[in-house]
Structure 1
Amino acid sequence: MTGALGFETRQVHAGAIIDGEAGARITPIYQSAGYVFDSFDDGVERFAGRSARRAYSRNDNPTNVVAARRIADLEGGVDGVLVASGQAAIAMALGALAEAGDHILTTDRLYEGTREMFRGALRRQGLAFEALPIDADEETWVAAVRPETRAIYAESIANPLGEVADLALLGRVSARTGVPLVVDNTVATPYLCRPVEHGAAVVIHSTSKWLGGHGSVIGGAIIDGGSFDWAAAAERFPQLHEPRPHGAPSFAERFGDAALGAYLRSVVVLEHGPTMPPSSAFLLLHGIETLSLRMQRHVANAVAVAEALRAHPAVARVHYPGADDGQADLVARLLPDGAGSIVSIKLAGGRDAARAFLDGLRLVTQMTHIGDVRTLAIHTGSTIHGKLTDTERERLGITEGLVRVSVGIELADDIIADLRQALDAVPARELEAVVS
């Protein structure tokens, strides 16, 4: 699929398989664990990595390959791999780049589930993580890079407060230091932001969110941007340059700029086995086909919700990228088509006000998820950030009255009406602590 076609066309057609036997126009669900070898020697060639044909569905199912290639196409990357969840995508991407004793630099504004994995499972596996302020300058980032640093990790739009990472700045740091930039682009989606254009080497998605769009499947994607010079970074990443078993050439020799994607598929994902079911990839493909249409509506609704809630006396602050957070110029530069659809509100009355508000919702659903066509809301301090200390929550801006709203595609007036009636129902005593 050529890049000369528009985004809206490629989200429908990129990477598609037209089944040669039955003539199915949409990509079928290839519900098969493995694939028939043509001969003894064919099996040898497939397992030796000298054949482009697949051997097993743990890492290479045709339905999944189409979805991965479509996301890669939309992101401007050269290859993509699907896995079972967004968390798996993060773990596999960092597992491909780093090993015990290595160091990862991150921004200090990340989804709490990601931070929990960094300070938990991945730290126990020997990786060291260091967080810098999301607004740190270029020289601070460069100075923090060590000989054992293997990745710089950021979210394009942070969840839940919507801080925007300066991807162009981080891309320059990556180019100067020879350390790949890994960006979680879940909240922005490739429709609003394409990190590869700003210097990212790897892009990650929780495909359960806006890409799938309907809250029906869990999944993740890792996109190889094809923009990183792996040959120049051979000392940092010997796994891409060592000769393969059975006399096969190294990943860097065989795949060049796309070496990481091939290594992920053939080694890391194959060995760990976090496989996305092809039935889930099939549903994901259907979601991707309408991504641009949904994102336009998501963004328009989020802007309307943010504006409507600012004037309500129960709301002390509205968090939406670029609105009143000093990032307007950055948002205009990196997110010209919109800043996503997460609107977080700080209720003046704290936790009790949040409880009254959430329990008063009628249309909006109280649950943990984002990126659904339905509008969803959650009190983050007692759920997603519930394991943190009060001091840690305060440092991250997770106040007692913070409610995250993932704005859906319903009629904006209906969403706003439900949010307002729930806010109106917050008891007067919960409004006494109004913060200007």
Structure 2
Amino acid sequence: MKDETKCLHAGYHPKNAEPRVVPIVQSTTYVYDSTDDVAAVFDDPMKSLIYSRFGNPTVMAVEDKIAELEGGVGALCTSSGQAAVLLAILNICNAGDSFISTPQIYGGSTNLFSFTLKRLGIECIYLDQDATDEEILRAFKPNTKAVFGETLANPALTVLDIERFASIAHMRNVPLIVDNTFATPILCKPFEFGADIVIHSTSKYMDGHAVQIGGVIVDSGKFDWTKGCFPGLTEPDESYHGISYTETYGNKAYIIKARMQLMRDFGVYPAAHSAFLLNLGLETMAVRMKQYCENAMKVARYLKDVEKVEKVIYPGLNSDANHTLAQKYLKGCSGVITFIIRGGRTNAVRFMDALELASNEVHVADIRTCVLHPASETHRQLNDEQLAAAGIDAGMVRISVGLENVTDILADLEKAFAKIRCAEVFLQ
């Protein structure tokens, strides 16, 4: 048996010893032996580390792990999921370009696409996931550069038909970008179904403990950028001495351009300590996802029998409209359930305020059960028409089922529903 105490003595270096956890490299900069060495790295930042604004050993170790989990050739961590969405689009879209997205996406992404990117001269063309192939193809313009969707939509919980949308995108020589946050690579690997770029809000299930904000972009390395109209990837980049990303970096062109160009200029890179915490979450993600799915299925079945619930949306249920797609693409439907309470906004708010174990918070995919009312919280910037397009009813509640004992979760829900009934009797 190895003498563990020897490892504590300075100068003791057992052969092949490695740290059990990813070490935190808490440094902003890196030292070189000569001016020529530094100059060479500024000519091509992929040769070595320059500055922790867009490259840090701790973060890069986590990037490699996520890329391997998704089956990609490379990954780039960002300071938030929203930053990951932004860079994923800006990496291929310029002012005057457009991209297609389903409306069944996270409210923050809707705001980004509909307002901020619009002000930058980039148009988002919304098409429902149920649109026919012909309708989607007709929506393409000569300047359309990508198709975007979410594996499991937040909070509508529709399931993206990844193969179909990938096929349509590839007919027009553009990539399919998929937000895989709710599914994680444990439940779905979009690259296996034809997706080209995957993004995540790592603040959700990857982290799992609500301790740090982050995002990530993963490149499949399978899309041929030379076949479409992507001059930013194929033509010389004057900000890096005329490098052509496709010629120099081959199938890693997209993810390297995102790092060398966009991360350099926007600087939305996470801190080393944030990556350290994210890595701890990744190490338990497979076990946690299994339990989230099991608990959520029991809660969904319970909700189906509650008189005050008008509708339960959970693709794991046989009765759900997306159940067939879920069986095709998912190995579980995560811990997130949406349901519509009879009585609309008033009863939904009353129900949530009566909960004790579940927290009313603007977060999801935590180890703790939490609830949210999208119409008055995350999606409050949307008008009634946009809410309907996103599949959000005024009485809709999103519950993120946690890892508590499911009996306790169900008891909390039962007490909250009882408060709705008592209030209605009182009002009568």
- Alpha-carbon shift at residue 309 of structure 1 (Å): 1.0
Structure 2 residue aligned with 1:242: 235
364-373 or 351-360: which moved more? 351-360
| 8 Å contact kept, 1:378–1:404 | yes
Give yes or no for the alignment of 1:343 onto 2:337: yes
Give CA-to-partner distance per residue, 1:218-238, whole Å, 9 cap, x none: 0000001111012222xx111
**Alignment: residue pair count:** 412
Instruction: Assess if the C-alpha contact under 8 Å between 1:19 and 1:25 holds in 2.
Output: no
What's the counterpart of residue 5 of structure 2? none
Q: Given that residues 105 and 390 in structure 2 are in contact (C-alpha distance below 8 angstroms), is that contact kept between their aligned partners in structure 1?
A: no
Q: 1:424 aligns with which of 397, 418, 424?
A: 418
Letter in 1 for 2:231: P
1:297–1:38 distance in 2 versus 1, CA, 3 Å: same
CA gap of 1:391–1:131, structure 2 versus 1, over 3 A, is closer
Q: Note the C-alpha offset of 1:275.
A: 1.6
- 8 Å contact kept, 1:305–1:416: yes
Is 1:153 paired with 2:168? no
Match of 2:247 among 224, 249, 253: 253
Q: Measure, in 2, the Cα distance between the counterparts of 1:353 and 1:342.
A: 20
> What is the deviation of 1:326?
2.3
Counterpart for residue 198 of structure 1: 193
Q: CA deviation at 1:429?
A: 5.8
In 2: Cα distance, 1:25 partner to 1:290 partner: 15
* Aligned positions of 1:27-426 closer than 5 A: 27-49=22-44, 52-233=47-228, 236-245=229-238, 249-323=243-317, 324-335=319-330, 337-426=331-420
- 2-side partners of 1:247 and 1:189: how far apart? 38
Q: Which residue of 2 aligns with 1:9?
A: none
- Please provide the CA RMSD for this pair: 2.0
Which residues in structure 2 correspond to 1:12-31 (within 5 Å)?
A: 23-31=18-26
Deviations 1:235-279 (A, max 9, x none): x11111223456564211121111001101111111111121111
Q: Which segment drifts farther, 19-28 or 57-66?
A: 19-28
| 1:310-337 CA-partner distances (Å, limit 9, x unpaired) | 11111111111253332222111111x1
8 A Cα contact 2:359 2:371, kept in partner: yes
Letter in 1 for 2:230: F
Q: TM-score, normalised by structure 2?
A: 0.92
For 1:375 and 1:55, locate their aligned partners in 2 and report how far apart those are by CA, in whole Å: 41
Write out per-residue CA displacement over residues 287-319 of structure 1, whole angstroms, 9 at most, x where no aligned residue.
Answer: 001111000000111111000111111111111
Question: Which has the higher mean CA deviation after the structures are superposed, 323-332 or 87-96?
Answer: 323-332
Deviates more, 1:138-147 or 1:416-425: 138-147
Letter aligned with residue 287 of structure 1: G
1:428 Cα offset (Å): 4.6
Q: CA deviation at 1:355?
A: 2.1
Shift of 1:391: 3.3
- Point out the more displaced range, 74-83 or 383-392: 383-392
Residue 54 of structure 2 aligns with an amino acid whose one-letter code is N
Q: Which runs of 5+ in 1 are unaligned?
A: 1-17
Deviations 1:71-99 (A, max 9, x none): 11111110000010000001011010100
Cα separation, partners in 2 of 1:319 and 1:19, compared to 1, 3 Å: farther
Q: Distance in 2 between matches of 1:430 and 1:109?
A: 33
Unaligned segments of structure 2, at least 5 residues: 1-12
Determine helix, strand or coil for the equivalent of 1:63: helix
Determine the C-alpha separation between the residues in 1 that align with 2:45 and 2:55.
Answer: 15
| Distance in 2 separating the partners of 1:418 and 1:255 | 54
Q: Percent of pairs identical after alignment?
A: 38
- Native 8 Å contact 2:197 2:218 kept in 1: yes
Give the SS at the match of 1:408. coil
Q: Name the SS for the 2:262 alignment partner.
A: helix
Residue 394 to residue 25, structure 1, CA distance change in 2 (3 Å): closer
Match of residue 14 from structure 1: none
- State the AA in 1 paired with 2:72: G
Q: Does structure 2 conserve the Cα–Cα contact (< 8 Å) formed by 1:181 and 1:201?
A: yes
Judging changes above 3 Å, is the alpha-carbon distance between structure 1 residues 111 and 430 closer, same or farther for their aligned structure 2 residues?
farther
Q: Is the 8 A contact 1:171 1:181 kept in 2?
A: yes
Confirm or deny: 8 A CA contact 1:181 1:202 kept in the other structure.
yes
Letter in 2 for 1:154: G
Counterpart amino acid of residue 243 in structure 1: P
Instruction: State the one-letter code of the partner of 2:27.
Output: S
Deviation at 1:108, TM superposition (A): 1.7
